[in-house]
């Protein structure tokens, strides 16, 4: 069993911690040893979140003992203390996963911390990495929607993007940095506009760009890019993705071509696939587990 701890954030009713608890308490290979926050008040987790009644006797502490842990999830990089980092430096068996608000680590603050997009950095995560940062939800959706194009040197025209669910300028810049690493010559000019807010924590993206390639070839490239990954799926049909993805760790992509333009519709649950589910996916890879372990939801 993997001995796990969670630290942060300060909010007692934080949605990220609540969903991370949901995944880790029900993960077959996890022994959740402690949950703490700067605002910890020793209140039982099952009182803070009654949905976990009968599942754990843990309390939300102010201080977390990291000495016996195999991995620590830190929600928001501001909560990563010197003590926690020293544990990582001094213990070669210890793993560290940062999620939530983490712009500095996503921008390469430490070379030790792998950018945790499993659909792109899976090899690094399974071949000795010990620390990773989960991308921002908006960046994940943008990256998954456009990564196969960059891998095939096809990201060569401005992309018009309509989004709902909170993709901000920082997310766009983060995705642009990764895509330019994949395709050195990539012209990541994104023309982004927002539509009405999505329901619950859902994120939707509609992208259009010029392409000289037929739809069948585009579908083949995307299928090949994701056929050995567990959580990104190409679905048939046209128009927006109307499936309810609440709590799912899947990203659904729909592809079409009209009048020389490629049309991509992408959807996911920002709180799961875009954050906590991706972080658990990272943990599975760091410890050599099957990708879908604890995430078949």
- Over residues 59-118, the pLDDT tens digits come to 999 999 999 999 999 999 999 999 999 999 999 999 999 999 999 999 999 999 999 999
Lowest mean per-residue pLDDT among 22-26, 129-133, 184-188? 184-188
Domains 2-135+273-286 and 137-269 are alike in CATH topology: no
Give CA–CA dist 36/58, Å, rounded: 10
Q: What is the pTM of this model?
A: 0.95
Per CATH, domain 2-135+273-286 is 3.20.20.70: no
Using CB atoms within 10 Å of the CB of residue 42, give its burial: 0 to 12 exposed, 13 to 18 middle, 19+ buried: exposed
Would you say residue 11 has pLDDT above 70?
Answer: yes
Inform me whether the pLDDT recorded for 241 exceeds 90: no
The reported pLDDT for the residue numbered 200 is: 57
Question: Reading across the β-sheet that carries 43-44, which strands appear in turn?
Answer: 43-44, 59-61, 30-36, 2-7, 71-75, 95-99, 131-133, 113-115
Q: Is 195's pLDDT higher than 80?
A: no
User: What percent of the chain has a predicted confidence (pLDDT) above 90?
Assistant: 81
Residue ranges covered by each domain of the chain:
2-135+273-286, 137-269
| Closest of 75, 120, 125, 118 to residue 100, by C-alpha | 75
Question: What is the rounded distance in angstroms from the CA atom of residue 206 to the CA atom of residue 204?
Answer: 7
* Band of pLDDT at residue 297, cut at 50, 70 and 90: confident
Decide if pLDDT at 222 tops 80: yes
Question: CA nearest 15: which of 51, 41, 61?
Answer: 51
Contacts of 16 (CB under 8 A, 6+ apart): 9, 75, 99, 100, 271, 275, 276
> What CATH number does the domain located at 137-269 have?
3.30.360.10
Out of 2-11, 200-209, 280-289, pick the least confident.
200-209
Question: What span, in angstroms and rounded, lies between the C-alpha atoms of 12 and 109?
Answer: 28
Residue 164's pLDDT is 83
On the question of pLDDT at 196 being above 60, the answer is no
pLDDT given for residue 113 in this prediction: 98
In 3D, which of 3, 88, 29 has the Cα closest to residue 289? 29
Mean pLDDT of 146-158: 93
pLDDT higher than 80, residue 194? no
| Mean residue pLDDT across the chain | 93
Please state the three-class secondary structure of the chain as a single string.
CEEEEEECCCCCCCHHHHHHHHHHHCCCCEEEEEEECCCCCCEEHHHHCHHHCCCCCCEEECCCCCCCCCEEEEECHHHCCHHHHHHHHHCCCCEEEEECCCHHHHCCCCCCEEECCHHHHHHHHHCCCCEEECCCHHHHHHHHHHHHHHHCCCCCCCEEEEEECCCCHHHHHHHHHHHHHHCCCCCCCEEEEECCCCCCCEEEEEEEEECCCCHHHHHHHHHHHHCCCCCEEEECCCCCCCCCCCCCCCEEEEEEEECCEEEEEEEEECCHHHHHHHHHHHHHHHCCCCCCCCCCC
Cα 278 from Cα 109, distance rounded (Å):
20
Beta carbons of 2 and 71 less than 8 angstroms apart:
yes
Neighbouring C-beta atoms of residue 122, cutoff 10 Å: 17
Among 12-26, 49-63, 116-130, 151-165, the minimum mean pLDDT is found in 151-165
């Amino acid at each position: 069993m993997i001995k796990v701890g969670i630290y942060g954030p300060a909010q007692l009713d934080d949605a990220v911690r609540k969903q991370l608890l949901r995944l880790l308490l029900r993960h077959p290979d996890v022994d959740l040893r402690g949950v703490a926050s700067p605002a910890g008040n020793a209140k039982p987790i099952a009182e803070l979140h009654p949905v976990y009644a009968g599942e754990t006797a843990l309390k939300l502490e102010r201080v977390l003992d990291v000495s016996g842990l195999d991995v620590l999830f830190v929600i928001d990089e501001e909560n990563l203390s010197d003590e926690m980092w020293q544990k990582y430096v001094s213990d070669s068996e210890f793993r560290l996963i940062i999620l939530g608000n983490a712009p500095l680590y996503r921008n390469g603050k430490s070379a030790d911390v792998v950018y945790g997009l499993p659909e792109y950095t899976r090899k690094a995560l399974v071949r000795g990495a010990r620390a990773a940062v989960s991308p921002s939800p908006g960046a994940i959706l943008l990256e998954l929607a456009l990564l196969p194009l960059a891998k095939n040197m096809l990201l060569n025209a401005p992309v018009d993007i309509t989004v709902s669910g909170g993709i901000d300028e920082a997310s766009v810049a983060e995705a642009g940095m990764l895509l330019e690493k994949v395709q050195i010559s990539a012209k990541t000019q994104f023309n982004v506009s927002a539509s009405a807010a999505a329901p619950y924590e859902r994120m939707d993206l509609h992208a259009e760009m010029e392409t000289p390639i037929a739809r069948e070839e585009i579908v083949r490239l995307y299928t090949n890019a994701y056929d050995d990954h567990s959580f990104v799926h190409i679905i048939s049909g046209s128009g927006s993705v109307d499936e309810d993805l609440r709590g799912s760790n899947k990203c659904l992509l729909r592809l079409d071509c009209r009048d020389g333009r490629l049309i991509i519709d992408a959807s996911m649950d920002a709180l799961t696939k875009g954050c906590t589910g991706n972080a658990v996916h990272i943990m599975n890879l760091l410890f050599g587990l099957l990708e879908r372990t604890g995430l078949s939801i």
